[in-house]
Amino acid sequence: MGKLRTKEQQDKATNTRLLKTYGITLIEYNQILEEQNGVCKICQKPPTNRRLHTDHDHAMVRQKIDSKKLCLGNWLVWVSGTEIKTIQSTKSKGLAIVRSQLKRRSVRGLLCAWCNRGLRYYHDDYEILASASQYIKTFTRSREPNKQGEPNVI
């Protein structure tokens, strides 16, 4: 496929990708961006030449989906521990709806490439991120001058 030339073509392709991957539309993406004042949720910097990345919780979309056939031939499909559930005429329709809701709920915010990559490298583990933050704080404090004007040495 050739390069998308018009803004309309680009927006249509982006909308399709967002729907398929995250269960949100381009309009919803833009609403999230507006709520974040047009900046990365973590570093508060505006995007440069590309859109902000859609950050999502990978564990959310891997939750177990349960289903049960009801007496009238319909299917109840749900995710335990959440209020996500639907009744549909076929199991496949129910699964599609529940998967879409899980994708949508997994979206946490919009991040620049650096912040998004950082979360990935730290496996979304807040304890590791807190430890990294403490490490940087300790190093920064060690470089601040002491009363004699010399850097502190660890």
Domain count, the chain: 1
Residue 148 in this model has a pLDDT that exceeds 70? no
In-domain check, residue 77: yes
In-domain check, residue 44: yes
In-domain check, residue 149: no
What's the pLDDT score for residue 153? Answer: 55
Half-sphere exposure of 104 (CA within 13 A, CB side): 13
In-domain check, residue 154: no
pLDDT mean over 12-31: 95
pLDDT per position as a tens digit, 29-88: 999 999 999 999 999 999 988 899 999 998 888 899 999 999 889 999 999 989 999 999
In-domain check, residue 40: yes
Residue 8 in this model has a pLDDT that exceeds 80? yes
User: pTM to 2 decimals?
Assistant: 0.77
Helix (H, G, I), strand (E, B) or coil at 112: coil
In-domain check, residue 150: no
In-domain check, residue 99: yes
What's the pLDDT score for residue 5? Answer: 80
What's the pLDDT score for residue 131? Answer: 93
**How large a percentage of the chain has pLDDT more than 90?**
65
Q: Which residue has the tokens 């919780």?
A: 57
Count the Cβ atoms, other than its own, within 10 Å of residue 47: 16
In-domain check, residue 2: no
146 pLDDT tier (thresholds 50, 70, 90): low
How far apart are the C-alpha atoms of 10 and 6, rounded to whole Å? 6
